[in-house]
Amino acid sequence: MTGTLPIEPAALETAPEPADTPPRPRRTLGSIITRAVAGFFAILLLVFILGPLLWMAIAAFAKRWKYPNMLPQAWTLDWWGRVLGGADLLPALWLSVKFAVLATLLACVICLPAAYALGRANFPGRRVILLGLFATNAFPKMGLFTSIATLFYAMQLMNTQLGVIIVQMLGTVVTMTWIPAAAFASVSPSLIEAARDAGAGKLRVFFQITMRLAAPGIAVAVILAFLACFDEAQGTYLIGAPTYLTMPTKMYQLVTNYPQQAAAVFALVLCVPSVLLLLLVRRHVMGGHLAEGFQLK
């Protein structure tokens, strides 16, 4: 993509070049500039994505790092020892995993049937529901969480595990309906009819054909939902703190109460499960199942 897209900017930049250059070398020059521009943007992108991570990784080992210096003046492993050895980390990690798993399971139970209906049936209001789900992302999260908190106080869900799970689950609804709905929709009706024809009842068809063929799309949605829950901080903090502190909410405390090095170490630790999971499903994400989710008609 980077090879073809920047042709236009390149053409603009070749314009000031001497006009009497013969066509062939000029084309070569054009392609060189195209590549250079593409390379430049690629590096820019990398700097923006990897730069902060790199800074964080260095900060995690820094003893003293003041502004004009490109690298820390003194190095240390103290912060790693303090964070990993601290009493807070393991319980927070355990809580994070527990909440994320339960919230994802709850999302499966609620969203997958909805996704099946949205993907396989055409009922009045279907498009409205699909768009409505998407629109929930248009509002500022904190505002929503505040009104949720009001509700939760009334329902006595504040500071409860169920409350945290519900709040985390809410954030996954779009992913958990759109992507599986597209996966269900892409299962050709004739494959299902062929299975019925061969003698399979509706349940068997659902589990052996429909679910099986939609599985990659559903897996992608589940993993994205799990990651979203795992990293969810705002709602979890509002509902769970101070009783239930997960890793991301713990970060909030660390950032305000500790030197930045501790937060850097914590953030790196927080990255590990996400990166591992993403590496695991890279093939499916690359395979277009994610994109499929947003092509629902």
Q: Which helix (H) or strand (E) holds 103?
A: helix 89-120
**DSSP structure string for 22-79:** -HHHHHHHHHHHHHHHHHHHHHHHHHHHHHHHHHHHHHTTEEE--TT-SS-SEE-SHH
Q: Which of 27, 196, 282, 283 binds other proteins (CB under 8 A)?
A: 196
Q: Does 283 bind other proteins (CB under 8 A)?
A: no
Q: Binding of other proteins at residue 212 (CB under 8 A)?
A: yes
Please name the residue that has the structure tokens 């024809």: 197
Using the rule CB under 8 A, which residue among 37, 174, 209, 221 binds other proteins?
Answer: 209
Residue 221 to residues 81, 151, 183: CA-CA distances in angstroms? 36, 28, 10
* Closer Cβ to other proteins, 117 or 213, answer by number: 213
Closest CA to 184 of 281, 111, 132: 111
Q: Hey, which residues does 62 pair with through a beta bridge?
A: 75
How many whole angstroms separate alpha carbon 206 and alpha carbon 238? 40
CB 58 within 8 A of CB 71: yes
Which segment (52-60, 177-185, 199-207, 246-254) binds other proteins by CB under 8 A? Answer: 199-207
Cα–Cα dist 169/163, whole Å: 10
Residue 146 near other proteins by CB under 8 A: no
Task: Out of 147, 156, 188, 243, point to the residue binding other proteins (CB under 8 A).
Answer: 188
- Mark the segment that binds other proteins (CB under 8 A) among 163-171, 206-214, 226-234, 282-290: 206-214
Which residue number, 23 or 201, has a Cβ lying nearer to other proteins? 201
Size of residue set near other proteins by CB under 8 A: 16
- Calculate the CA 260 to chain-centre distance: 25
198 binds other proteins per the rule CB under 8 A: yes
Window 30-69: contact mask with other proteins (x via CB under 8 A):
----------------------------------------
Among 47, 193, 243, 278, binds other proteins (CB under 8 A): 193
Which chain residues interact with other proteins by CB under 8 A? 188, 190-191, 193-201, 204, 209, 212-213
